[in-house]
Amino acid sequence: MGDWRNKLFSVSGLAMLAVLFIALVTLSNVLLRGQRLDLTENRLYTISEGTRNVLRKIDEPINVYFFYSETEARAAPSLRPYAVRVREMLEEFSQHAGDKLRLRVIDPLPFSEEEDEASQFGLQALPTASGASIYMGLAATNSVGDEQIIPFFDPSKEATLEYDLAKLIYTLANPKKPVVGLMSSLPMGGDFNPQTRQPSPPWVIDEQIDSLFEMRDLSPTVTAIDEEIDVLMLVHPKGLSDETLYGIDQFILRGGKALVFVDPHAEIDQPAQDPNNPAAAFAASRSSSLERLFGAWGIAVPAAEVLGDDVLALQVSTRPGMPPARHLALLGLTTDELNQDDVVTSGMTSVNLGLAGYISAREDAPVELLPLMQTTDQAGTIPVDRVRFLADPGTLRDAFSISGEKYTIAARVSGTVPSAFADGAPGDGDTEGHLAASDGPINVVVVADVDLLGDQFWARVQSFFGQRIITAWAGNGDFVINALDNLTGSSDLIGIRSRATYRRPFDRVEELERRADERFRAKEQELQDQLTVTEDKLAELQSGRTDDNVLIMTDEQSAEIQRFLDERVRVRKELRRVRRDLDKDIERLGTMVKVINIGLVPAVIVIFAVAAAVARRRKAGAA
């Protein structure tokens, strides 16, 4: 009697247990979200605080479509790891944004509706050998119909993946075009040229900013910077009044972002000609500074010196007909001098500067300088007076000494700073609303060169049937746009630094490959040399001939050719052997690795087990 009851209880107990189990697992899946321990070396799965803030501040839902041709991508296995990485980052994003970010992963099969959709969004397809196309891009839309895409996720841009995605989301979440306030003492927006009596076109950089941002020109006499301005771009500030400086100071302390270009000597700053006193223009100062504000932040851009760099010096042609000469103070920065860890300069390969200054910080400066552009350690300073009336750049080398220091030319300036106007507003001393110190860290990028903005340093403008065709030959424009883009984004975006890459190759195998390649090339070179020698010899034999039948080869020549042909066969054979050997080295390492991993430990265990069994039997036998 009790038996079956027991059984019944047990069976129903088991069933209840199962229901409880499923319920608990489901519940824990929902409730325990977000508690995780990221053990990856580069915290690949931990998105930064900045991104999280961006995601938290989304008001209206954003739809994200990740198009990845998973099926087709089987033909391109190298793309797979990165696709997985992108998808996981997107999933991480959507987890943090909750229902504000709707992620859909789509596999656009050939000739499917999804594929049409992908191409309608303007995503790029990578053709495969078999004629199919692989999509690995992203399209996102917000509730007011704005659209942003990443046409193709380029694995080489992995370092900025998080930033690029966060930036895209931010742009959709904040659809208004950012406002850039430009205060410049230079005629960036175009000028009237008195000599040609025609308006000169705007600078390329000005046009580019205008196309991407809402640009407002600020008079150098304004006393307050409008709240609506997201980024203040100050170019070559000269002789600003205290009232204007106060306006800028308060704008920055309030959290306004600024991109400042100053220069100890701006070549591009051409003073107006005074017909009555032509010498005045020649002697006029071409330097600019924001000394008062910089002083409060604890930084300085020395006004009497420009930088020279022996490694970075650019070639310039000084006079027609003369060979180009290296100009120590015209610098061509490369990847190594552009901070690859910062999103503004990451991935940039060249920026050209002219007569640039440098930024230094006091020991006790309240701000931190994060260099974006630096010189090499083969740099030194040159007094401004020496470049002012420079006829021959070659003479710069005289008296130039390398200090061995790396100078910072452009930097992010951040930190909590005091006002440069400790006593409140200048003049009447109105203290209402005066900020004595910044609320939080300020966000400013300072560049100690103005010339880099000039077209002649980075862009070629051509007229083509009335259209202006612009070809950039250096990254100066990208730098400015990146900096503005980054500063207008939000301080959350600024905080996202680029990440180390995901790919981890077998260094040892690659090293073997490299070494073998070198050997192969050396052999190839040998063959080439041999060929040259033979050709020379043939030519020599030919020119030394005195007979009439110059078109017919002598026996000596034929022998030489035959010798070369034999030699070539020998070297070719050698080359094939080298190639085989190189593959052999790699294969041998692979075989060793496999043998050790598949066979070694099992073999040891078998030996151990046999030994243990024998020992046991002996013991049993002895007993």
Partner 1 sequence: MNQVRTIFRRELASYFSTPVAYVFIVIFLVLTGAFTFQIGNLYERGQADLVPFFTFHPWLYLFLVPALSMRLWAEERKTGTIELLMTLPVTLWQAVLGKFLAAWCFTGIALALTFPVWLTVNYLGNPDNGVIVAAYFGSFLLAGGFLAIGACLSAVTRNQVIAFIITVTVCFLFLLSGYDLVLNAVQGWLPQPLVDAVASLSFLTHYSSIVKGVIDLRDLVYFAMVIAFFLVANAVVLDMKKAS
Site for partner 1, rule CB under 8 A: 3, 6-7, 10-11, 13-14, 17-18, 21-26, 28-29, 32-33, 35-42, 44-45, 77, 81, 88, 503-510, 590, 593-594, 596-602, 605-606, 608-609, 613
Q: Closer to partner 1 at the Cβ: 273 or 591? A: 591
Task: Please state the closest distance from residue 158 (CB atom) to partner 1, in A.
Answer: 14
- Cα–Cα distance, 478 to 482 (Å, whole number): 6
Check: CB of residue 287 under 8 Å from CB of residue 266.
yes
CA atoms within 13 A on the CB side of 218: 27
Task: Please state the closest distance from residue 99 (CB atom) to partner 1, in A.
Answer: 16
Check: CB of residue 262 under 8 Å from CB of residue 446.
yes
Task: Please state the closest distance from residue 125 (CB atom) to partner 1, in A.
Answer: 25
Check: CB of residue 442 under 8 Å from CB of residue 256.
no
Q: Closer to partner 1 at the Cβ: 36 or 618? A: 36
Q: Please spell the DSSP secondary structure of 349-401, one letter per residue.
A: -EEEEES---BEE-TT-SSEEEEEEE--SSEEEEEHHHHHT-S-GGGGGTT--
Check: CB of residue 542 under 8 Å from CB of residue 550.
yes
Q: Closer to partner 1 at the Cβ: 10 or 315? A: 10
Q: Closer to partner 1 at the Cβ: 29 or 196? A: 29
Task: Please state the closest distance from residue 510 (CB atom) to partner 1, in A.
Answer: 8
User: What is the longest distance spanned by two Cα atoms in the chain?
Assistant: 129
Q: Closer to partner 1 at the Cβ: 510 or 536? A: 510
Q: Closer to partner 1 at the Cβ: 49 or 60? A: 49
Task: Please state the closest distance from residue 135 (CB atom) to partner 1, in A.
Answer: 21
Check: CB of residue 296 under 8 Å from CB of residue 337.
no
Task: Please state the closest distance from residue 95 (CB atom) to partner 1, in A.
Answer: 10
Q: Closer to partner 1 at the Cβ: 295 or 602? A: 602
SS3 168: helix
Task: Please state the closest distance from residue 26 (CB atom) to partner 1, in A.
Answer: 4
Q: Which residues contact residue 141 at a Cβ distance below 8 angstroms, ignoring those fewer than 6 apart?
A: 62, 63, 147, 148, 172
Q: Which amino acid is at 436?
A: A
Question: CA 249 from chain center: how many Å?
Answer: 31
Task: Please state the closest distance from residue 157 (CB atom) to partner 1, in A.
Answer: 19
Q: Closer to partner 1 at the Cβ: 84 or 284? A: 84
Task: Please state the closest distance from residue 71 (CB atom) to partner 1, in A.
Answer: 14
Task: Please state the closest distance from residue 34 (CB atom) to partner 1, in A.
Answer: 8
Check: CB of residue 315 under 8 Å from CB of residue 326.
yes
Task: Please state the closest distance from residue 27 (CB atom) to partner 1, in A.
Answer: 9
Check: CB of residue 366 under 8 Å from CB of residue 413.
no
Q: Which residues contact residue 166 at a Cβ distance below 8 angstroms, ignoring those fewer than 6 apart?
A: 50, 51, 54, 55, 492, 493, 496
CA dihedral 24, 27, 28, 34 (to 10 degrees): 180
Q: Closer to partner 1 at the Cβ: 9 or 192? A: 9
Q: Closer to partner 1 at the Cβ: 11 or 224? A: 11
Q: Closer to partner 1 at the Cβ: 394 or 599? A: 599
Q: 9-22: buried (b, 16+ CB within 10 Å) or exposed (e) per residue?
A: eeeeeeeeeeeeee
First to last CA, the chain: 54
Q: Closer to partner 1 at the Cβ: 8 or 283? A: 8
**Nearest CA-CA partner of 425 in 241, 596, 617, 239:** 241
Task: Please state the closest distance from residue 432 (CB atom) to partner 1, in A.
Answer: 52
SS3 613: helix
- Cα–Cα distance, 212 to 608 (Å, whole number): 73
Check: CB of residue 147 under 8 Å from CB of residue 139.
yes
